[in-house]
């Protein structure tokens, strides 16, 4: 049981290049999330997918697109990278069941630098 995995771990892009960050979870969780974390800051939600087939914007969605490929996988795409998107990106997943409250599980992060 690997939990939440992210690829790549590190990436350097030039301004204007595109790339896709991959995330997968093997816990059969319904919901998945993408966050970014800038130095000295807390995490900010970019996009989330409450269940397979749905995606919604979070706090900072501009410049990003997402795809919930299936229940396991949730990808984040930067179409035209900008230096302001230099950050650490975390993916997370959460089970949703009834009215109970379940914690989120986070991946190890992708460290992206845009020059």
In the complex, which residues of this chain contact other proteins (CB under 8 A)?
Answer: 4, 30-31, 33, 35, 40-45, 48, 50, 56, 58-59, 88, 90, 92, 94, 96-109
Instruction: In angstroms, give the least distance from the CB of 67 to other proteins.
Output: 19
40 CB-near residues (< 8 Å, 6+ apart)? none
Task: Return the number of the residue (57 or 77) whose C-beta is nearest other proteins.
Answer: 57
In whole angstroms, the minimum distance from the beta carbon of 113 to other proteins comes to: 15
72: left (phi over 0), alpha (psi -120 to 50) or beta: alpha
Least distance in Å: CB of 98 to other proteins?
Answer: 7
- Give CA separation, 46 vs 1, 68, 98, 99, 115, in Å: 26, 14, 25, 25, 21
């Amino acid at each position: 049981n690997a939990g939440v995995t992210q690829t790549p771990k590190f990436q350097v892009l030039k301004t204007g290049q595109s790339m896709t960050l991959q995330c997968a979870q093997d816990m059969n969780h319904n919901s998945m999330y993408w966050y970014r974390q800038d130095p000295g800051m807390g995490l900010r939600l970019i996009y989330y997918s409450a269940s397979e087939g749905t995606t919604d914007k979070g706090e900072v969605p501009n410049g990003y697109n997402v795809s919930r490929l299936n229940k396991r996988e949730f990808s984040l795409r930067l179409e035209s990278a900008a230096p302001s998107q230099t950050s650490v990106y975390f993916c997370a997943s959460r089970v949703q069941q009834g009215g109970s409250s379940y914690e989120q599980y986070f991946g190890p992060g992708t460290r992206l630098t845009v020059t």
